[in-house]
C-alpha cells in the first residue's frame, strides 16, 4: 500500500513581536513569571497591518512551492484551515490560489479548493482529507497543499490576550513523503461544548478555565480511542509527542495526564509507585471526592519524579520551543509543534528515521484527534530548510502602545482612516486593500 504523509513544510510568522515579559506584563501590572513560567510563553507573533490570513498563507505556500520546484500543475487540491476567515462564501484557498497564480506559471483551475473549519483541529482535518484523497487514488499523481493560517486575536483585556499569535504553516501532502508518514489508525474524542466560540464575532467568547478542562477530557478520550485500534501506547514508543499548543503550560498538563495513562500496568508504574510511595490504583474508593483527591495526589507526586521529568524534557519540551516564541497559531499550532520537535532533533543529531511521533490535535467546540506518524528518510534535509529562526529574529519588537494600534487595525469593528505599517514587505504578498493584494 502506498505510503502517504507530509512531504514538505514551510512556516511563515507574523512579522511583529509582542514581548510578554518586558512589554505586556508591565503594562498589565502582572509579574512576568505568570507568562514565562505559568503559561510558558516568552512572546507572541503578531501580524503587521499589511498581513492577514491570506498573505501569511500565500507566503508560506509560495516558499514551499518555490523551494520544491513545483508548478500549479503539480497540485491537485488546496485546502485552507482557518478560524479567522472573513468571507462566509468564498474559501480562503481561492484568495491564496489567486496570489500564487501571480508568481507561478500556469493556474490552479484544475485544483479542488476548500476551507475547513473546526477551530484549531481543522489543520489536521485538512491533512486527513488530503490523505484520504490520495489513498482513494483520486489524485492523478498530484499532491495536495494544506495551509493552516490564523490571526489568533482576543479582545483586549480578555484572559486569552497573552496567548495571542499569528502565522501560517503550509504542508505538501503526497505519496512516499520525505518528512513523515501518517498512520491509518486514529482516535477521536468529540463533544458539543461551548467554552470557546465566535458566533458572528471576530474575537472569541471564552471560558478559559473550562476550556483547559475540556481540552484534557477530549484528549484523554482520543487517546483511549486511538489505543482501541493501535493497541496500548507506552511512553517509549514515541520519540516526540507534539500536541496542540495554545500555550506550553496547557501541554504541560496534557503531557502529565497522557504519561499517567501510558504507564498504567507497566514496570515504570511499579517502579514509580515505590519511589513516590503511592499506588496508582483507586478502585477501593467509593466516594468520588476521595477518589479524585487520590488521583490528584498521585499525579502531583508523579510530576516531580526524575523518570517523568526526563521523559518530558526529551519527548515534550522540544515540541514547545517555537510555540514559546510565537503564541497560539490556532490551526497551525500542532504543526508548529511537530516542526519544533523535529528541528530540535536535527540540531541535536538525533537518529530518528523510522521512529514514531504521537500527534495530538485539538479544536474547541470540541474535538481531539490522535494519530501516529513515522519519520521518513528525507526528514533531515526537509527540516534543514526551515527559516523559522531567521524569521523570528527579524520580527519587529513593538511597544505596548504600538501593539494597541496594531490590534485596533486588525479589529473588524474599528474603521481606521490611517493605518501605518511597522515593517517593510520584502518580496512577499502584502495586503493593500481589496482588489490590490499583491507581491511587494
Residue 294 interacting with ligand HMG (CB under 6 A): no
Considering only residues 133, 362, 379, 429, which one is a binding residue for ligand HMG as defined by CB under 6 A? 362
The packing angle between helices 288-302 and 267-276, to 10°, is 90
Residue 198 interacting with ligand HMG (CB under 6 A): no
Residue with cell 508548478: 71
Residue 190 interacting with ligand HMG (CB under 6 A): no
Considering only residues 3, 26, 27, 37, which one is a binding residue for ligand HMG as defined by CB under 6 A? 37
Q: Which residues are catalytic?
A: 83, 120, 244
Positions 72 through 101 that interact with ligand HMG (CB under 6 A): 83
Residue 189 interacting with ligand HMG (CB under 6 A): no
The residue number with the shortest CB distance to ligand HMG is 38
Residue 256 interacting with ligand HMG (CB under 6 A): no
Contacts of 367 (CB under 8 A, 6+ apart): 118, 119, 121, 188, 189, 190, 191, 218
In contact, 188 and 363? CB cutoff 8 Å: no
Residue 170 interacting with ligand HMG (CB under 6 A): no
Residue 311 interacting with ligand HMG (CB under 6 A): no
Find the shortest distance in angstroms from Cβ 3 to ligand HMG: 29
Residue 206 interacting with ligand HMG (CB under 6 A): yes
Residue with cell 488546496: 78
384-389 own/partner pairs: CB under 8 Å, 24+ apart: 384/346, 385/10, 385/67, 386/9, 386/10, 386/11, 386/339, 386/343, 387/11, 387/63, 388/11, 388/13, 388/322, 388/339, 388/343
Binding span for ligand HMG by CB under 6 A among 33-41, 47-55, 228-236, 422-430: 33-41
Binding span for ligand HMG by CB under 6 A among 58-66, 202-210, 308-316, 401-409: 202-210
Residue 164 interacting with ligand HMG (CB under 6 A): no
Cis peptide before 366 (omega within 30 of 0): yes
Considering only residues 24, 196, 379, 403, which one is a binding residue for ligand HMG as defined by CB under 6 A? 196
In contact, 25 and 35? CB cutoff 8 Å: yes
Binding mask 363-402 for ligand HMG (x = CB under 6 A): xx--------------------------------------
Look at residues 295, 268, 292 and name the one whose alpha carbon lies nearest to residue 281: 295
| Helix (H/G/I), strand (E/B), else coil: 133 | helix
Considering only residues 27, 159, 290, 394, which one is a binding residue for ligand HMG as defined by CB under 6 A? 159
Binding span for ligand HMG by CB under 6 A among 101-109, 211-219, 401-409, 420-428: 211-219
Residue 328 interacting with ligand HMG (CB under 6 A): yes
| Helix (H/G/I), strand (E/B), else coil: 212 | helix
Q: How far apart are the first and last CA of the chain?
A: 44
Q: Determine the Cα–Cα distance for residues 276 and 298; give it in Å rounded to an integer.
A: 8
Find the shortest distance in angstroms from Cβ 367 to ligand HMG: 9
| Helix (H/G/I), strand (E/B), else coil: 33 | helix
In contact, 77 and 171? CB cutoff 8 Å: no
Residue 160 interacting with ligand HMG (CB under 6 A): yes
In contact, 437 and 99? CB cutoff 8 Å: yes
Cell of 321: 520551543
Binding span for ligand HMG by CB under 6 A among 128-136, 155-163, 287-295, 428-436: 155-163
Binding span for ligand HMG by CB under 6 A among 49-57, 209-217, 221-229, 427-435: 209-217
Closer Cβ to ligand HMG, 163 or 340, answer by number: 163
Count of positions on this chain that bind ligand HMG (CB under 6 A): 30
Buried (b) or exposed (e) across 239-277, using 16+ Cβ within 10 A? Answer: bbbbbbbbbbbbbbbbbbbbbbbbbeeeebbeebbeebe
Positions 107 through 146 that interact with ligand HMG (CB under 6 A): 119-120
In contact, 7 and 143? CB cutoff 8 Å: yes
Which residues form the interface with ligand HMG (CB under 6 A)? 31, 33-34, 37-39, 83, 119-120, 159-160, 162-163, 196, 206, 208-209, 211-212, 215, 244, 246-247, 249-250, 328, 330, 362-364
Amino acid at each position: 500500500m502506498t505510503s502517504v504523509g507530509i512531504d514538505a513544510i514551510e512556516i511563515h510568522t507574523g512579522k511583529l513581536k509582542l514581548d510578554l515579559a518586558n512589554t505586556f506584563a508591565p503594562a498589565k501590572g502582572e509579574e512576568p513569571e505568570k507568562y514565562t513560567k505559568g503559561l510558558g510563553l516568552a512572546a507572541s507573533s503578531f501580524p503587521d497591518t499589511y498581513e492577514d490570513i491570506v498573505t501569511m498563507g500565500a507566503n508560506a505556500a509560495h516558499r514551499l512551492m518555490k523551494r520544491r520546484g513545483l508548478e500549479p500543475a503539480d497540485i491537485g487540491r488546496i485546502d485552507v484551515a482557518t478560524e479567522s476567515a472573513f468571507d462566509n462564501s468564498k474559501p480562503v484557498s481561492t484568495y491564496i490560489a489567486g496570489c500564487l497564480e501571480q508568481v507561478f506559471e500556469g493556474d490552479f483551475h484544475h485544483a479542488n479548493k476548500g476551507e475547513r473549519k473546526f477551530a484549531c483541529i481543522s489543520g489536521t482535518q485538512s491533512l486527513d482529507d488530503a490523505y484520504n484523497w490520495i489513498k482513494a487514488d483520486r489524485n492523478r499523481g498530484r499532491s495536495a497543499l494544506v495551509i493552516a493560517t490564523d490571526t489568533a486575536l482576543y479582545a483586549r483585556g480578555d484572559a486569552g490576550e497573552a496567548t495571542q499569535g499569528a502565522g501560517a504553516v503550509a504542508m505538501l501532502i503526497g505519496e512516499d513523503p520525505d518528512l513523515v508518514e501518517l498512520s491509518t489508525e486514529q482516535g477521536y474524542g468529540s463533544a458539543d461544548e461551548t467554552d470557546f466560540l465566535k458566533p458572528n464575532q471576530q474575537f472569541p467568547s471564552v471560558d478559559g478555565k473550562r476550556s483547559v478542562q475540556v481540552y484534557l477530557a477530549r484528549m484523554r478520550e482520543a487517546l483511549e480511542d486511538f489505543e482501541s485500534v493501535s493497541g496500548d501506547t507506552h511512553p517509549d514508543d514515541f520519540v516526540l509527542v507534539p500536541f496542540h499548543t495554545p500555550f506550553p503550560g496547557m501541554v504541560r498538563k496534557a503531557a502529565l495526564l497522557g504519561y499517567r495513562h501510558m504507564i498504567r500496568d507497566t514496570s515504570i508504574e511499579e517502579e514509580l509507585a515505590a519511589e513516590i510511595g503511592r499506588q496508582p490504583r483507586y478502585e477501593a474508593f467509593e466516594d468520588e471526592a476521595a477518589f479524585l483527591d487520590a488521583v490528584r495526589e498521585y499525579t502531583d507526586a508523579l510530576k516531580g519524579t526524575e523518570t517523568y521529568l526526563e521523559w518530558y524534557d526529551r519527548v515534550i519540551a522540544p515540541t514547545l520551543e517555537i510555540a514559546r516564541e510565537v503564541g497560539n497559531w490556532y490551526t497551525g499550532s500542532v504543526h508548529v509543534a511537530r516542526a519544533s520537535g523535529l528541528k530540535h532533533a536535527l540540531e541535536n543529531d538525533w537518529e530518528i528515521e523510522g521512529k514514531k511521533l504521537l500527534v495530538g490535535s485539538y479544536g474547541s467546540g470540541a474535538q481531539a484527534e490522535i494519530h501516529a506518524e513515522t519519520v521518513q528518510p528525507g526528514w533531515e534535509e526537509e527540516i534543514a530548510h526551515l527559516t523559522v529562526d531567521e524569521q523570528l529574529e527579524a520580527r519587529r519588537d513593538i511597544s505596548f502602545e504600538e501593539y494597541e494600534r496594531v490590534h485596533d487595525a486588525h479589529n473588524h469593528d474599528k474603521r481606521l482612516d490611517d493605518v501605518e505599517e511597522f515593517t517593510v514587505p520584502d518580496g512577499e504578498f502584502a495586503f493593500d486593500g481589496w482588489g490590490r493584494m499583491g507581491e511587494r
